[in-house]
């Protein structure tokens, strides 16, 4: 008896005294529950506050296999509810682990059935928990821009990745003592730190406009039998990107996750298809003819040779430097030799005598080369950079490309012929859009914006500061360019973009696609159209790019420009109007180019030129960022502002063909 009591006492002493800390730690490890409370990820909104992406807590079914009494019976019960094979569930419920996922973020209906089974006591060791799931209410609309969120709530691509810190918030923590069933023991340890929800991101996109752009672009891709396309709409004044449509035809190379039903509830039949059958379908339920969202934001990340839309910069530089005026006449031969290489226009013609305006209207490569030779390669490249080509935009989109502008060490004898007509350099679509927007803004470059601001926990919107602008060409040059671009649509290659009674200023572009084996592919173009509307007081700038087509920009892209611009003007409530004589007492519309602007680096033609009367005003409104946003063009040549050489007329036959 005494020995027994002694043994018990010894054990008691051992447990309560000597090994007390060990047992206490063991108790704490079993009873003390430490939970990380996920913060609610902020939503991504369009400029009107409509949700493009948001998180909703959903039910996740988990299990502790050590507590499961009858894995087979529970697997049978769960199989029909979760839609998972019974053997798989049974294997998970029998796994040698204390935690397994059975189904994550399931819909509400099966979640309620699981709760009913749990309440009936049929699922021992099975629990439910809440996990946020990311939804895109508008389907795949603008998906390449928005990006993807992983299962752990981390942004993996696009804006979800770029603004992950802002969106994800701060997770909370809960430490509490629980009983074996997981219920909190009253009076026990309890520490709670509430999670801080993420902020809502407000984009510059306009959801209806984005849909209109995607729909029009999808039709264009189908009609042109193209591989992919982009369509961008920009607010002329603020640089806000109102729509960025990026579509592609599905291919076997794309991840299966991208071959989901697209946001467009329309069915396209390509021209020449007799049946419109779903032939060539690559994915489940996806026809070859149905464009889908591009795998990435190609408007920022993908570069291409722009072709003739680049002539805007060439002409602007020539006008700004005083090398030409719109009425100057050039002799346009059938072909033109530069450094031993013959260059041709897209159509055969006898020697023509065209003004600068006509050269642009009819997109003559030879005429443009002749003009470019007056300003020189250095000045042209300086203007390219000032227009934003070769520089990343302030959007700083993940994976954004700066474009490819050949430096002086890369110039060849034919560079002065290829670069002015948009070959031999590469741009992103948003860069070229911003270049056209510069002319629409009276010569002031307004950086593109994709994110306007964010909405914090207080519900107030915090706007990001507007990026600094800088002047590229004078307002007089911008007006001359606008008039010339109007001519392109009125009588030139861009007549398909005509949008009467609106006035359109724009330019077509058709660039050959480089071949992987060198040279260019035949009958394979990047066709584009860029412009702004209404020309007399621009509201929006639009860019359409159709890639991998056999059609020229005038056919493939200009009509799409008109469709998108028409919808955008109606959406924005901009009536068509022509400048009318002022009515006494009625305030006149603000002329474009008269807004405040920041002074940029002086370009050849802007220094001391007679048409820079706005410069004084721009200098007074310069900001601290002005001047540092763009590198100073140090490659300007002595041709700027110099006397114009005689129009070249010498020709020599040799070499290859250029468009």
Partner 1 sequence: MSPAEPQRKLAPPGAARPLHQPGPVYHQPEPAGRAAEPERRHLRLVERPRRGPVYLRRLGLALLVASLTLLGLGLVALHALSAQDQFTLNQLQDQAASAQAAYQRLRLEVAQLEAPARIVSVAEGKLKMVQPGSVTYLPAPRPAAPGAASGPASGPSPAGASRGGTSGRGVVPAPLGDADWPAIKPYLTPRP
- For the four alpha carbons of 155, 156, 159 and 165, in that order, the dihedral sign comes to positive
570 binds partner 1 (CB under 8 A): yes
Q: Using CB under 8 A as the criterion, what x/- string covers residues 136-155 for binding partner 1?
A: -xxx-x--------------
Min dist CB 569 to partner 1, Å, is 9
Q: Which is nearer to partner 1, 208 or 641 (CB)?
A: 208
Strands (E), 64-153: 100-106, 126-135
Instruction: Tell which one of 17, 96, 182, 187 touches partner 1 (CB under 8 A).
Output: 187
Q: Which residue has the tokens 């006898």?
A: 350
Residues 206-235 contacting partner 1, CB under 8 A: 207-208, 210-212
The answer to whether 403 and 390 have CB atoms below 8 angstroms apart is yes
254 binds partner 1 (CB under 8 A): no
186 binds partner 1 (CB under 8 A): yes
**Distance between CA atoms of 99 and 103, rounded to whole angstroms?**
12
573 binds partner 1 (CB under 8 A): yes
Q: Which is nearer to partner 1, 340 or 576 (CB)?
A: 576
Residues 6 or more apart whose Cβ sits within 8 Å of residue 316:
383, 387, 439, 472, 473, 477, 478, 481
**Distance between CA atoms of 208 and 225, rounded to whole angstroms?**
25
Q: Which is nearer to partner 1, 534 or 658 (CB)?
A: 534
Pairing of strands 200-203, 44-45: parallel
586 binds partner 1 (CB under 8 A): yes
**What six digits make up the tokens of 611?**
């048409």
Q: Which is nearer to partner 1, 274 or 580 (CB)?
A: 580
Residues 319-378 contacting partner 1, CB under 8 A: none
**Distance between CA atoms of 448 and 456, rounded to whole angstroms?**
24
Cis check: omega of the bond before 36, within 30 degrees of 0: no
203 binds partner 1 (CB under 8 A): no
Q: How many CA atoms lie within 13 A of 445 on its CB side?
A: 31
Min dist CB 262 to partner 1, Å, is 9
Min dist CB 588 to partner 1, Å, is 12
Tell me the β-bridge partners of 593: none
**Distance between CA atoms of 397 and 343, rounded to whole angstroms?**
37
37 sits in the region (left: phi over 0; alpha: psi -120 to 50; else beta) called: beta
Min dist CB 198 to partner 1, Å, is 13
**What six digits make up the tokens of 263?**
């946001």
Q: Using CB under 8 A as the criterion, what x/- string covers residues 98-127 for binding partner 1?
A: ----------x-------------------
Q: How many residues bind partner 1 (CB under 8 A)?
A: 40
Q: Which residue has the tokens 């509400």?
A: 108
Choices 323-331, 407-415, 523-531, 583-591; region in contact with partner 1 by CB under 8 A: 583-591
**Distance between CA atoms of 318 and 327, rounded to whole angstroms?**
13
163 binds partner 1 (CB under 8 A): no
| DSSP 8-state code for residue 170 | B
Min dist CB 388 to partner 1, Å, is 30
Q: How wide is the angle at C-alpha 103 spanned by C-alphas 99 and 107, nearest 5°?
A: 140
Q: Which is nearer to partner 1, 187 or 516 (CB)?
A: 187
576 binds partner 1 (CB under 8 A): yes
CA 108 centroid distance within chain: 34
Q: Which is nearer to partner 1, 184 or 642 (CB)?
A: 184
Instruction: Tell which one of 264, 320, 377, 489 touches partner 1 (CB under 8 A).
Output: 264
Q: Using CB under 8 A as the criterion, what x/- string covers residues 45-64 for binding partner 1?
A: -----xx--xxxx-------
Q: Which residues bind partner 1 (CB under 8 A)?
A: 40, 43, 50-51, 54-57, 108, 130, 135, 137-139, 141, 184, 186-187, 207-208, 210-212, 263-265, 501, 566, 570-573, 575-577, 580, 583-586
């Amino acid at each position: 008896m005494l020995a027994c009591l002694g043994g018990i006492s010894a054990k008691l002493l051992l447990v309560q005294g000597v090994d007390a800390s060990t047992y206490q730690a063991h108790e704490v490890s079993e009873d003390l529950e430490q939970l990380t409370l996920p913060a609610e990820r902020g939503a991504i909104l369009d400029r009107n506050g409509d949700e493009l992406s948001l998180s909703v807590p959903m039910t996740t079914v988990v299990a502790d296999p050590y507590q499961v009494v009858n894995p087979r019976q529970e697997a049978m019960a769960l199989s029909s509810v979760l839609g998972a094979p019974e053997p798989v569930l049974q294997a998970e419920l029998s796994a040698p682990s204390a935690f397994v996922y059975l189904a994550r973020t399931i819909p509400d209906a099966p979640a309620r059935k699981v709760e009913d089974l749990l309440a009936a006591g049929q699922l021992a060791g099975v629990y439910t928990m809440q996990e946020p799931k990311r939804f895109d209410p508008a389907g795949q609309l603008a998906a390449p821009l928005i990006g993807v969120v992983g299962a752990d709530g981390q942004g993996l691509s696009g804006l979800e990745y770029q603004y992950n810190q802002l969106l994800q918030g701060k997770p909370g923590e809960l430490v509490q003592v629980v009983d074996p069933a997981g219920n909190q023991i009253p009076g026990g340890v309890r520490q709670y730190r509430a999670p801080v929800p993420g902020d809502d991101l407000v984009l510059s996109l306009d959801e209806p406009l984005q849909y209109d752009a995607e729909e029009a672009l999808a039709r264009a891709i189908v009609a042109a039998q193209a591989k992919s396309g982009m369509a961008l709409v920009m607010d002329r004044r603020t640089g806000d990107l109102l729509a960025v449509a990026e579509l592609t035809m599905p291919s076997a190379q794309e991840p299966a996750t991208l071959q989901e039903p697209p946001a467009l509830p329309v069915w396209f039949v390509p021209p020449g298809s007799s049946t419109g059958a779903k032939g060539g379908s690559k994915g489940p339920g996806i026809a070859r003819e149905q464009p889908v969202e591009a795998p990435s934001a190609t408007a920022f990340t993908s570069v291409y040779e722009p072709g003739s839309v680049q002539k805007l910069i060439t002409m602007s530089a020539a006008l700004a430097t005083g090398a030409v005026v719109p009425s100057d006449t050039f002799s346009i031969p059938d072909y033109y030799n530069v450094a031993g290489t013959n260059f041709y226009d897209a159509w055969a013609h006898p020697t023509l005598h065209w003004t600068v305006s006509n050269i642009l209207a009819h997109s003559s490569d030879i005429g443009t080369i002749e003009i470019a030779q007056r300003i020189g390669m250095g000045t042209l490249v300086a203007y390219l950079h000032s227009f934003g080509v070769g520089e990343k935009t302030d959007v700083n989109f993940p994976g954004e490309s700066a474009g490819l502008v050949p430096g002086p060490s890369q110039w060849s004898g034919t560079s002065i012929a290829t670069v002015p007509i948009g070959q031999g350099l590469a741009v992103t679509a948003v860069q070229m859009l911003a270049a056209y927007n510069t002319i629409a803004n009276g010569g002031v470059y307004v950086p593109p914006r994709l994110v306007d601001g964010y909405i914090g926990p207080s519900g107030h919107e915090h706007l990001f500061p507007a990026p600094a602008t800088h002047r590229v060409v004078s307002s007089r040059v911008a007006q001359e360019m606008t008039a010339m671009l109007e001519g392109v649509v009125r009588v030139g290659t861009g007549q398909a973009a005509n949008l009467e009674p609106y006035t359109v200023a724009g330019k077509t572009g058709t660039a050959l696609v480089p071949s992987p084996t060198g040279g260019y592919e035949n009958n394979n173009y990047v066709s584009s159209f860029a412009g702004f509307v209404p020309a007399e007081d621009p509201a929006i700038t639009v860019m359409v790019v159709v890639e991998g087509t056999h059609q020229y920009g005038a056919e493939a892209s200009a009509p799409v420009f008109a469709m998108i611009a028409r919808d955008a003007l109606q959406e924005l409530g901009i009536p068509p109007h022509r400048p009318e004589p002022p009515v006494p007492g009625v305030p006149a519309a603000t002329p474009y180019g008269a807004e405040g602007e920041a002074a940029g680096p002086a370009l050849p033609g802007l220094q001391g030129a007679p048409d820079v009367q706005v410069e004084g005003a721009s200098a007074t409104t310069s900001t601290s960022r002005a001047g540092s946003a763009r590198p100073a063009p140090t490659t300007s040549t002595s041709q700027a502002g110099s006397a114009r050489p005689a129009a070249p007329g010498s020709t020599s036959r040799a070499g290859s063909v250029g468009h």
